[in-house]
Amino acid sequence: MKAYIFPGQGSQNVGMGTQLKEISETAGEFLEMADDILGYKLSDYLIHGTREELKQTKITQPAVFAYSVIKARISRDFKPDMVAGHSLGEFAALAAVRAITYADGLRLVQLRANLMQELCEKVPSGMAAVLGLDDAVTESVCNAIDEIVVAANYNCPGQLVISGTNEGLAEAAIRLKEAGARTVLPLKNVGGAFHSPVMEPASIKLAEAIEKIRIRKPSVPIYQNVTARPSTDPEEIRENLIQHLTSPVRWTETIENMVMDEARVFIEVGARPVLASMVKRINKRFTPLCL
C-alpha cells in the first residue's frame, strides 16, 4: 500500500512555482486560481520569491500548501491508499484527497498564517530541536519550567522539537543539555511557538473558520497529527483540525501506525525532501520516494 506524506513549514524552496509549471501547464491555472482566491499574487512568491520572503509565515504557509496540493492534483502517479501531513502539511493532505476544497484550504491556511504571524510579532517565541535525548526526559524537563515550553513535534526517535516563549526555550536549552541532550538547535525557518499554548488565541479564531467549511469524506484515510490515527469521518477530522494548532504533532506514532496498517511505500509530496529522513529513522526498512 502507498502512503503519501505532506511536509509543512520549512519545506519551501526558492523557485518552486517554476518547478510546478515545468511539470504541467495545469499548474499555472492552479496558481492563477490561488491569486484570485487570496487577493494577492501568491504565484509571484512561488516563482520569484526570495529565501527571506519565503521565510515569512504569512507567505510560507499558503505557498507550501499550494505547492503540495497542486503537485498532487497534476500528477498521474498520485494514487494513495492513505495520507498524512506534518503540521501545516495536514491541510495539504486533506485537500489532496478532496476532504476540503483547494479554495477552502487556501483560505484556512492563509488565515492560519496571518493569525500565527500576528502572534509571532506580539509574543517573542520559537521552536528548537532537541537531539539525542529520550522523549520522556525532554517532557519532564519542559514540565518543570514555569515559562511556556512544551514538546511540540515528535519527529522521530532522538529528535523532539520543543516550542515556547524565548525565555522558556532558553531555560529549557540549559536544562536539557544538563540532562544529556547532544544539542538543542533553534529552528531558523520557524517564526513562533507553533503547537503550543502560545497559539491559543489563533486557535480560537481559526476554529470559527473551520466550523464554517464543508468537510467531505476523504477518498482514503488520513492519519491526523492530534491522534496519529486514521480517520475518514468528516466531523472527527474537523474536531482534530480545531485542536491542531495547540496540540503536538505525533509524527513517530503516525508513521508507525501507517506501517502497522500495511503501508509499504512512502512518497513525499513537497518542494524538497524533509520528511524522508524522519521516516527512515522511525523505520529503517523504508526510504521514502518523492512525487
* pLDDT for residue 25: 84
Q: Residue 3's beta-bridge partner residues?
A: 82, 266
Instruction: Find, among 238, 278, 279, 262, the residue nearest to 90 by Cα.
Output: 238
* pLDDT for residue 20: 87
Grid cell 487577493 in the structure block, residue = 39
Q: What is the pLDDT of residues 186-233, one digit of tens each?
A: 988 777 899 999 999 999 999 999 999 999 999 999 999 999 999 999
* Domains of the chain by start residue, with CATH: 2-121+196-290 (3.40.366.10), 124-186 (3.30.70.250)
Return the ∠ at Cα 281 (arms to 275 and 287), rounded to 5°.
65
Provide the 3-class DSSP secondary structure of residue 144: coil
Does position 259 have pLDDT exceeding 90, yes or no? yes
**Mean of the per-residue pLDDT values of the chain:** 95
Mean of the pLDDT values across residues 11-33? 89
Mean of the pLDDT values across residues 249-260? 98
Residues marked active site are found at 87, 195
Q: What is the pTM of this model?
A: 0.94
Where helices occur in 123-248 by DSSP H, the ranges are: 135-143, 166-178, 200-212, 234-243
